[in-house]
Amino acid sequence: MKKFFEYVGLTVLCLFSYYYTSMLGEYVSDKDTIMVNLEEKDKTLNKNCTEGYINEYGVVLGISGLSINKQKSYENMRGLGYDESLIEYNYDECKINKENNIDKYIIKGNPHKNSVSIIIELDSLKYINSFINISNEKNIELNVLVNDYIFNNNISLLNKYYNEEINLLYTGNNIRKFKEEFNKTFCVYKEKYDLLESCAENEINTIKTSKIFYKDALLNIKNNLEKGDIIILKENMNNLNELSSIINYILSKGMEIISINDLLE
């Protein structure tokens, strides 16, 4: 009887050892796969802040650093496999950022980002859908600048654009009302409206760019394009006719055309 229990105990021990070894092997294999993917993903990120600068004209924002918290990310994925939606990040916030410089003009995005933004300044709404159609065909993101007249008379259309994740920017006298309607926004300096103080009071940054084009936009962009540019195109037939060529030229220079929110992130 004693030998019987010894055999039973030995059998149980062997089965447990086999099960434990098998589970450990799966765990190590799973961990290796997850960690390898996390390491590869982490290599694509900007680890440290790329600081911006301030000059007499305004602010060029820094680019916050970003890295993966591999231990926390692994814990989130353990038993589930690699899933980018479960990644947790570490952030290295720059000193020169939107929040710390709300009382200064933002004059461009950080050139290290290798990107620009295009803003369509609305006028009559005659061509805006054509501008948007071209941007969709080219798979680039446009931003829309709204004045008081457009805002007050086309609220349903603007809500449609906003719900389609088109960024709406503002120049006019009623920033508080505009912000209540469209929470994520920037003010834009125009000679008629210097909004810096009122927008800062409403915790909104103000953009001031010299690259505002009513005509001959393509020629001017070819002569003066820089990384981080904020380009404003007046909504008219001249700029509409040139938009595809403008997009092609910018992309040919190896730059991306991204939303203003992404450019100034």
Instruction: Give the residue among 67, 69, 70, 72 at the shortest CA–CA distance from 49.
Output: 67
Integer angstrom CA distances of residue 166 from 60, 176, 181, 245, 253: 23, 20, 14, 21, 24
What pLDDT does residue 228 have? Answer: 94
Asked which of 62-71, 195-204, 226-235 is least confident by mean pLDDT, the reply is: 62-71
The percent of residues in the chain predicted with pLDDT above 70, rounded, is 88
Give me the chain's average pLDDT, please: 86
| Cα angle value 237/242/252 (rounded, 5°) | 160
User: Is this structure's pTM higher than 0.85?
Assistant: no
Task: Please give the average per-residue pLDDT across 93-122, as a whole number.
Answer: 92
Per-residue tokens: 142: 């446009």
How confident is the model over 130-161, as pLDDT tens digits? 999 999 999 999 999 999 999 999 989 999 98
**Distance from C-alpha of 159 to C-alpha of 145, rounded to nearest angstrom:** 14
pLDDT value for 9? 46
How many residues are present in the chain? 265
Most confident of 34-38, 157-161, 178-182, 224-228: 224-228
Is residue 205 predicted with pLDDT exceeding 90? yes
Q: Above 80 in pLDDT, residue 117? A: yes
Domains of the chain: 2-99 (no CATH), 102-263 (3.20.20.370)
Asked whether the beta carbons of 151 and 176 are under 8 A apart, the reply is no
How many CB atoms are closer than 10 A to CB 38?
Answer: 20
- Tokens describing residue 96: 């020169």
